[in-house]
Amino acid sequence: MLVEVQVAPDDLRRGRLGRAQLAEAEAAYRAHGLVTLHKAFDPAFIRRLEVAYAARFGGCSEDELARLGSRVGDERWMLSLPFEDPFDGPELYAPALLMPLLHRLLGEAVVLSSYCAVTSFPGAGPQHLHLDHPLLFPEDEQASLHLPPYATTVVIPLLDLDEKNGGTMVWPGSHRATPSFWKRVTRGTPLRLPAGSAFLMDYRLLHRGEANPGHLPRPVLYLVYARPWFRDAYNFRDHPPVRLSPEARARIPEAHQGLFAAALSAPSGCSAE
Ligand SMILES: O=C(O)CCC(=O)C(=O)O
């Protein structure tokens, strides 16, 4: 089941979910491995991110994309976000409206495990069905699947997920499903969300990007939050999970330094930067 929490304009302005909505979002996430939050970001901020993202990466050749990130499907690339305006502020890496929910799910010592975007270019076919990380204990699937949440992807589409652009296909509840289920799945639930919304997805949830039948690249920001002991041992052989230079790290306000405890400083020395 897909639970959709509507963020009221007043809550968005205050940067805080009401107590009942916070509890609803937490319960939905724990039960289904997934919750959507409609209108969780200021549309003007999302537009700034979209424009900056297109300006920065829109003209990249395939070679440059391969140098900056990794291919995650047909015409689909994951890149580490540059730690520069407008991607370098707490309104994106520590959104006030979402942090209480992330703390409830992942504890007070939550860290940013990776800070990326996945872009499906026009003509991209459907992505393969997958989880974002192998189970923690492959030799004991039941133990792995019944652990509390330990890593959560916050997905922030920079344009509408709809029939025109395609979206993400999810299997609610599959964060508790065994690998034998992965082989038997039939139809999933296509997420349709206006830009400015977000969804939280457990690291064990089955999903795949849908085809992009439109004419525009479809970037979704892919921010992974985790318990401080978790290390993503699977996705980051080709690029850093957080592209953070020592100078950028020094600019992070004291109150948010803890979020970056797992991020090793990486030089930002690519020609496209
Ligand atoms: O493109 C999308 O909609 C989602 C991509 C995705 O989920 C992934 O690469 O794991």
DSSP for 231-244 reads ---SS-SSS-SSB-
CATH number for the domain that contains residue 50: 2.60.120.620
Any domain includes 143: yes
Res 268: pLDDT:
45
Cβ neighbours of residue 44 closer than 8 Å, sequence gap 6 or more: none
Within a domain: 11: yes
**Position 168 in a domain:** yes
- Give CA–CA dist 17/223, Å, rounded: 20
Residue 270 domain-assigned (yes or no) = no
Among candidates 114, 115, 110, which has minimal Cα distance to 149?
110
What predicted TM-score, i.e. pTM, was given to this entire model?
A: 0.94
∠ CA 7-12-14, rounded to 5°:
130
Which residue range(s) make up the domain with 22? 4-260
Q: What contacts 24+ positions apart, CB below 8 Å, involve 57-64?
A: 57/119, 57/219, 57/272, 58/217, 60/272, 64/271, 64/272
Rounded to whole angstroms, how far apart are CA atoms 121 and 77? 8
For the chain, the maximum distance between any two Cα atoms, rounded to a whole number of angstroms, is 49
- Looking at residue 172, its amino acid is P
- State the pLDDT at residue 267: 44
Instruction: Please tell me the distance between residue 184's alpha carbon and the centre of ligand 1 in angstroms.
Output: 21
Query: In ligand 1, which atom is closest to the CA atom of 168?
Result: 3
Residues of the chain below pLDDT 50:
266-273
User: What is the distance in A from the centroid of ligand 1 to the CA of 209?
Assistant: 4
Name all residues whose Cβ lies below 6 A of ligand 1: 72, 118, 120, 127, 132, 168, 207, 209, 220
Let me know if residue 203 belongs to a domain. Answer: yes
Q: Give the residue, by CA position, lying nearest to ligand 1 atom 2.
A: 209
Q: How many domains does the chain have?
A: 1
- The pLDDT assigned to 272 comes to 37
Atom 4 (ligand 1) nearest CA = 209
pLDDT at position 178 is 87
247 CA to middle of ligand 1, Å?
A: 30
Q: Using most ligand atoms within 8 A of CB, pick from 53, 128, 168, 239 the residue to mutate for ligand 1.
A: 168
* Domain-located, residue 202: yes
Residue at 265 is within a domain: no
Q: Sort 33 into a burial class: Cβ within 10 Å, 0-12 / 13-18 / 19+.
A: buried
Q: Identify the burial level of 153 via C-beta atoms within 10 angstroms of its C-beta, where 0-12 means exposed, 13-18 middle and 19 or more buried.
A: buried
**Whole-angstrom Cα distance, residue 39 to residue 41?**
6
Distance 99 CA to ligand 1 centre (A): 22
Asked whether residue 9 is assigned to any structural domain, the reply reads: yes
